[in-house]
Every structure is written in structure tokens, then in C-alpha cells.
Amino acid sequence: MSRSSFLYALWCLGVLGLYLAAASQGYSPFADGGRTAGAYRAYGPTHK
Amino acid sequence: MSPDDSSVRTLSCPACGGTIAMRAAGYTVTLACEYCGTLIDATHPDARIITRYHEVQASLAIPLGTRGKLRGVEWEAIGWLQRTDGWAAWDEYLLFNPYAGYRWLIAQNGHWSLGTMLTAMPQRDGGDLIVGRRRFSPFYSGSTARVTRVAGEFYWRVKVGEEVRATDYVRPGFMLSLEQDDREKSWTISELLTGQEIGAAFDVAPPPAWLPGMTPLAHQPSPYARRIKGWWPIAVLSFVALLVLATLFGWTAQPQGFSLSAIPDGPTVSQTFGPIQLPLGRQAMTVEVETPGVEQGWVDVDVAFVDRKTQDSYDAYALNEHYSGRDSDGYWSEGARAQTLKVTSLPAGTYDLVVDVQAHHWGSSGSFAYDTASGTYKAEGLPPVEIVLTVARGARFASNFWLAMLMILVPPLLMLVLHIMFENARLAQKDGSPADADDWLQGMQSP
């Protein structure tokens, strides 16, 4: 395995580790919880 | 017959009187004085002057007379010439070994290639040429290479201004060159050397790394193709591992159902449900909010998980709405009567689910009354909207999966972009027909 492949494999392991950590902690940066403050709310149909 | 070391002899420069060593006596027909640069006819008994140079002696990357071991053979640099085809200039060093003969060391843009003259014609296959098992595609054609400077010994009478017609064929790491004039044709195959190889042999600087904007050599292999080929199995393995992790995590469990109702344009309804026990460390919660009866209106649903012990609140918001009607195109409807909320990283504890609901009506159906408090007309007599909540422990975040996928793919995609830029710059130099799919596929080959 070349050095660049080794480094890329390390990168992928890091990403999988982060995914595992987020999954075990029930975390997502795009979750609904906590995102409502200041969110713009639009009502009514948009049909024309 | 090959000369031995005793064939080295000296002669005096007829121009400056300097003593010149002739290293390949018996083969050398011209050599240049290392002191004054005068080109001398070595076959003439009195070492006749061919051309007198008044330029400053070239500052050579490999001084003539330098010996270096390359591919297991010790070579001595005995001649140097500089050539140009009008677009690019390059240096050619003639290497000599009494037992192995001659080789060329070609330097261009800091890259070095080892050239070996062929003794047999390459085989032709369509427009390509084949030498051994290597297939070469046409690259440069119809260029004229002209000698601009020369020093040292050669096996033919070299003079400045000497021209040959050159045609080049390439494959990654190799160039096959045909040089011909009115008298002869010669084929040379040159192989690009690694910086480590040429540095160890002749102590020259390593070739520069390619950067966007630089022009690569015609036979320079893309450094990114090798990485892409080495990385894609790792990317596939990572993708499989990610799928396994996504399957193992993200299940929901122990769903609990709650319901309440709100009158359209009526007051906000607040209700607290619970307790909800979270025994494990941090975990996500999924809340499905359904409003099956909402029509021509919307429902604001604020949910908050409030820790009974710390009063910390984890909030989320859903907007359920549904509208429909009929126009010239027929029936239409829009909106969603159900939403799924995912709340992240709730610590273990006992929680209350606090729900605030406000239902609204849109449009002119029903009866309206003026509300002095808000200064608006509000619907009256509409049936209440039921809100059904299903709360479950755990959540599956597709966004995490796609974010991880993106992070896994970014490095290979970056390499792919750089590879395309590299090959674009390389193939832009190609003569004749424009680069086609075969040229691009060839760029992915290993040397």
C-alpha cells in the first residue's frame, strides 16, 4: 500500500469513526431539534 | 567490438591548447573543448577545428565526465547538446559505458528520461506502434528538432543548427521517438525516471511536482491516476462499512402515543405529557406529528423535551398544513399532514414532553367574527383539529450518512478533478487529431 493510500485509508477510518460517534450519541448537525429559533415560517398555499 | 579503458586518450585543443580527454576513442568523431568550447573533428589526425564557440561554457546539471550508476550500469556523461523544436527546449546527455554502449539522458522541465536506441523497427498496429508489449499512441508529428548548443563527445558529427524531423509516440512513462534526416532514421525509446532514481545516479534535483497551470511532459504519467486507482477499493470498503453502521444504528424503540386537539384560529393549546424515561447515555428522539383532519389550514406544533431534574429543554417545531382546490386544470392539493421531527443528543433522565399547538384556517369557508384582541377576522364554528404524536427513542439520520459519504468521496473526487486538469494540459499539446476517449483511457494506465 502506497503512502497516499495509507493516508486515505486513515481519512476514511476517521470519517467512519466520526459517524460511529455521532450515531452512538444520537447526534446530527442537521437534526430538527434546536433549529426552530429564528426560523422563518411561511403560511398558506403557494398554488397559483 | 567494444573499447576498454585504455582507449581513453588525450589531445590538445587546436584553438586554446588545452588538454582534452577523449573517453570513447575509436567511436567519437567530434568532441568539444571543455575550456573554450571549440568543436573538434576527432577523426582528423591533427584534430581539426569544426566550429569555434564564443559562448560561455554551459552550466550543466551533469558536468561532463560525471559517472553515475543507473539501472545497475555505471554510465559516464560524455556529451551534451541542447535542442529545440521552436516550442520547447531540452537537454540531451550522451551516456557511455564501454560494455553497454550509449544511452541518452534527456532533461526537460526538470524531468529526466533514459533513452535507448532501438535496433529493430517498432510494429505498427493501426495508428499505434508496439514495442515489446507496450503500445504507443501518436502525439507529436512533423516537428523539427534543431541543435542549439553542444559540448563533449559524440558518435557522429554534431554541429549547431543540425536538424532532424521528429515524430513522437507516447504512453504513460514512455516516449517512442523517430528522428530522421535525409540519410537515416533512428528510433529511441525513452523512459521517465523517478526523482529518486536520477538523484541517486547523478545527484540532480528531483523533478518538480505538477501544479495546475504547469505543462506536463507528453509522456508524464498523471500522479493522480495512480491515487484514484489505489483509493477506489478503499472508498468501496468504507461505503460498505458505512452501510453496516447505518443498519446497526438508527433504530427507533418504545414508541409512546399522545394526542390533543386545537380549534382553528382558536387559542394556543399547551399540554404536558410524560414521564418519558431515557435510561441510556445520550440518544436521539423521534417525534411523528400527524394532523389527519387539517384542511385549508395549518397547525403549528412546538414540542419540547424538558428534563425534570435540570429543566434543560430540547425543542423542535413542526408545521403541518394542507390545502386543496379546483381550477382550470382540475383538482389540486398541497402540503403535508404529517411531519417527523428528530431531536438530538438527549442525556439520560426523566423528561416531560411539552407540546404547544395552534391551529389556523386559510380561506373564506366557514363563518368569521371580528376578534378585537388581534384586530383580525377569525373563523368560527370549525371542528377542532386532532394532533397525534408518536414519540420513540432513537432516530435514523440520513443526513449523517450522506455527509459521511461526501467526506469519503471528497478526496478521490478532488484527485479526479486534478487528473482531468493534468490530462487536459498534457493532451492539449497533442498534434494531429484531437484527444479522444482512447487518449483519456491511456492516461489512466500505469507506466
Which domains are delineated in chain B? 5-209 (no CATH), 253-395 (2.60.120)
Cβ pairs A/B, distance under 8 A: 135
Residue with cell 489505489: B230
Model ipTM value: 0.78
Cα gap B435→B308, rounded to integer Å: 70
Would you state the pLDDT for residue A40?
44
The nearest CA of chain B is from the CA of A4 a distance in Å of 7
Rg of the Cα atoms in chain A: 20
pLDDT for the residue numbered B107: 96
Using a CB-CB cut-off of 8 Å, the residues of chain B touching A40 are none
Answer whether A23 sits within 8 Å of B360, measured CB to CB. Answer: no
φ, ψ dihedrals at A33, nearest 5°: -65, 130
DSSP B83-133: EE-SS-EEEEEEEEETTTEEEEEEEETTEEEEEEE-SSPPEEETTEEEETT
Look-up of cell digits 509522456 = B219
Among B249, B342, B403, beta carbon nearest to A32: B342
- The closest alpha carbon to B191, from B128, B145, B136, B248, belongs to B136
Cis check for the bond before B292: say yes or no (omega within 30 of 0): no
Q: Which residue of B has its CA nearest to A2?
A: B230
State which residues of chain B have pLDDT below 50: 1-4, 51-57
Q: Amino acid letter at B16?
A: C
pLDDT given at position A35: 36
Is B404:A18 a contact under the CB 8 Å cutoff? yes
Q: Which helix (H) or strand (E) holds B224?
A: helix B223-248
CA distance B447 to B436: 20
Min Cα–Cα distance to chain A from B298, Å: 7
The alpha carbon of residue B353 and the mean position of all alpha carbons in its chain are separated, in whole angstroms, by 50
pLDDT of residue B6: 53
Inter-chain touch A16–B298, beta carbons under 8 Å: no
Look up residue B81 and give its three cell numbers.
Answer: 547538446
∠ at Cα B95 (B90, B100), nearest 5°? Answer: 140
Query: Which of A4, A18, A39 has the CB atom closest to B227's CB atom?
Result: A4
Which residue in B174, B176, B171, B172 sits closest to B225, CA to CA? B172
Q: Using alpha carbons only, give the angle B68, B74, B79 rounded to the nearest 5 degrees.
A: 65
Question: Closest Cα partner for B64 from B100, B22, B29?
Answer: B22
> Does the distance separating the beta carbons of B345 and A26 come in below 8 Å?
yes
B430 to chain A nearest CA, in Å? 30
**What confidence score (pLDDT) does residue A46 get?**
67
Amino acid letter, residue B36: C
Q: How far, in Å, CA of B383 to CA of B262, rounded?
A: 9
Q: Do B316 and A35 touch (CB under 8 A)?
A: yes
Question: From B247, which residue of chain A is nearest by alpha-carbon distance?
Answer: A23
pLDDT at B246: 92
Name, in order, each residue with C-beta under 8 angstroms of B387's C-beta and a sequence gap of 6 or more: B259, B260, B261, B262, B289, B290, B291, B299, B301, B320, B355, B357
Give A31's contacts in chain B (Cβ within 8 Å).
284, 342-344, 395, 397, 399
Name the maximum alpha-carbon separation found in chain B: 125
Q: Looking at the complex, report in whole angstroms how far the Cα of residue B164 sits from the nearest Cα belonging to chain A.
A: 42
